[in-house]
Amino acid sequence: MAMTNRHLVSATTCPYCGKFLDDATSIENQANRPKPNDLSVCISCGGYLVFDKLLKPIQLHDSDFEELPEEIRAAMRKYRKAILEMRRTDK
Ligand SMILES: [Zn+2]
């Protein structure tokens, strides 16, 4: 089996698209494990997620997103765009 840097998280489905999610990969440092309140982007639909206390990715509400520092919001928009573009070229 190939080595991966994917880390198990509490299994759930994406609150936006229903994709089954049970692992996460840090974009900045693949050795990082997710922590509660870490932000994530659904690999299937680009939906904004945040890890709860049990490391379950849950919906990041628009009002919480708007309170994030601009550089974080810009990074998340960039990841969402990259995911959506990747999905488009998949088809
Ligand atoms: Zn999704």
| Strand 57-59 versus strand 48-51 pairing type | antiparallel
pLDDT per residue of the chain (91 residues) written in tens, 0 to 9: 444 566 766 778 999 999 998 777 777 777 778 889 999 999 999 999 999 998 888 999 999 999 999 999 999 999 999 999 998 886 5
Q: What is the DSSP letter of 51?
A: E
**Cβ-based neighbour number of residue 21 at 10 Å:** 21
Q: Where are the domains of the chain?
A: 7-90
Q: Which residues surround ligand 1, an ion (CB under 5 A)?
A: 14, 16-17, 19, 42, 44-45, 47
At 53, which amino acid appears? Answer: K
Cα-to-centroid distance, 43 and ligand 1 (Å): 7
CB 28 within 8 A of CB 68: no
Which tokens belong to 82? 């990259």
